[in-house]
Amino acid sequence: MKRALPLLLACLLSGCAANPGPPPVVEDEPEVAVTSSTSASDTTPTPAPAPAPERTKVSVGVDALIGGLNPYLMADNQQIVQEIAQLVLPSPFRGGVMDSDLLRSAEEVDAPEGSVQRVRYEISPAAQWSDGTPISGADFRYVWQGMKTTPGVVHPAGYRAISAVTSSAGGKIVTVDFTSRVEDWRSLFPTLLPAHVLAEQDFASALSTSIPVSAGRFAVESVDSARGIITLNRNDRFWGADPAHIDIIELHQLRAPEQAVAMLRSGQVGFASFVPAQTTPEALSLLPEVDAEFIHTTRQLRLHLTSARQGAREELAGALDTAQIARLATGRTDNLRVPYGGRTPQPGPPLERTLRIGADPTDAVALAAAHAIVDQLNSRGASATVVSDRLSDLIADYRELDGLVAWNDTAITPGNMADFFVCQVASDCPADAVAVQREILSGEIPPGQALELVREHNAQDYYYVPLLDETRMNALGTGISGPGDKVSDWRSGLVSAAQWRVGPEPSLDRKVSRHGGFE
């Protein structure tokens, strides 16, 4: 019994010892099989989290910014600004058709006593800015107040006919009352601005560096002036149908046509829209993967004559050769459009007076035109100089100038035609300007007839000199799939970005014509 006790203790101790598990599995020696009685959960490694899907990105070439991103300011009047606004900001109507993502309804209703016309908008309850703030009547009101009080805005005439913008139902019902009729009321408020962010800012400085919140399919992520890149991200808070497919669009600001050719050649950009040089078509004709075409826009470069004296304006206009100015401003003799109303030098005595011509130095074409104008004036005996300053400052002080070079929209619409009679950068104005403006807006004078009135007034009193109509080039390279395989399908430019995808390489038969134009 005494001998059995130590044996029993030894057996008990032996039974309590740990049973070691199998050796660890070596992943780079899978041929070694190991069996174990332990559960699979003890030996199967925890799977690594799946990597986040790679964000899709495309790059395009665009004009360099000359100002900010406010689509309502003459100082920011560029195609790229208008295109970004259409991607980022909400619009009640697009192409004359109500945007059902933003609005439930928009219609004329019975006007109350004291108003000539009333329009009512009902905003979708889901419509919101990217920071979660609902889109409301305050956004309509901010645009109206800015447009009626700020100098140097685009298409102000219709807003000056508005007497009140009010809202109800938590800001989702917006009522606009008019003191005079605006037949084309659907063209008003082409983009809404975020009042909750911008209310404390002066309208003239709003969106001067970026667009802080979005209510479109894309949002402005950054504006990197040093690198010349504007980055748009897909707006994941967009509530409407058909959100964007691409996650990131990089807009490379092109400083020269040669940069556009180089970036298309290397595949750094898949699409570019820019103002060409004389040799740009020839350079692109050597790139079989690029399809390109010329685009004629409704933008026109003008010399606005700002003197209060009709005789002084006539004398200045009579000294100019607009065909030469157009050649020198663009550096082209081909694919150059000198507009209706251009000038040839008229004989006369030496000018013998001091003249100041303003232009924005960040707009290369406008600045080159201003220098050509000054050189022509000086050759006629004047003492002329270029005043180089931001366009917003030049507009504010236009009475200190004799002329101001700036771009205008010449589309034959009631708003454009009525704008002439607002006389924003003119010290003189037709005597019947207010009455004619109202008749154009009401539809009593159709746009075509209004155009003839504008030309008649300008031929008689010299309010502006048309210098050139804009000619651009669209070029489709590789890496983006969008509206179609041909550049002619891409005439809407950046506006079509919501339907873009990262695309395959183009077919080898995409070639640039060698006969002076583009297929």
- For residue range 269-285, what is the model confidence (pLDDT) as tens digits? 999 999 999 999 999 99
**For position 344, what pLDDT does the model report?**
85
Ordered domains of the chain (ranges, CATH)? 55-89+216-290+477-519 (3.40.190.10), 94-205 (3.90.76.10), 297-470 (3.10.105.10)
Dihedral angle computed from the Cα positions of residues 192, 197, 203 and 207, in that order, rounded to the nearest 10 degrees: -80
Contact at 8 Å (CB) between 216 and 87?
yes
73: which DSSP letter? Answer: B
**For position 36, what pLDDT does the model report?**
39
**For position 518, what pLDDT does the model report?**
44
User: 207: how many CB neighbours lie within 10 A of its CB?
Assistant: 27
Contact at 8 Å (CB) between 474 and 255?
no
Q: Which of 342, 352, 466, 470 is nearest to 403 (CA)?
A: 466
Which residue ranges of the chain lie beneath pLDDT 50?
1-41, 508, 510-519
**For position 35, what pLDDT does the model report?**
37
Contact at 8 Å (CB) between 241 and 478?
no
**For position 512, what pLDDT does the model report?**
42
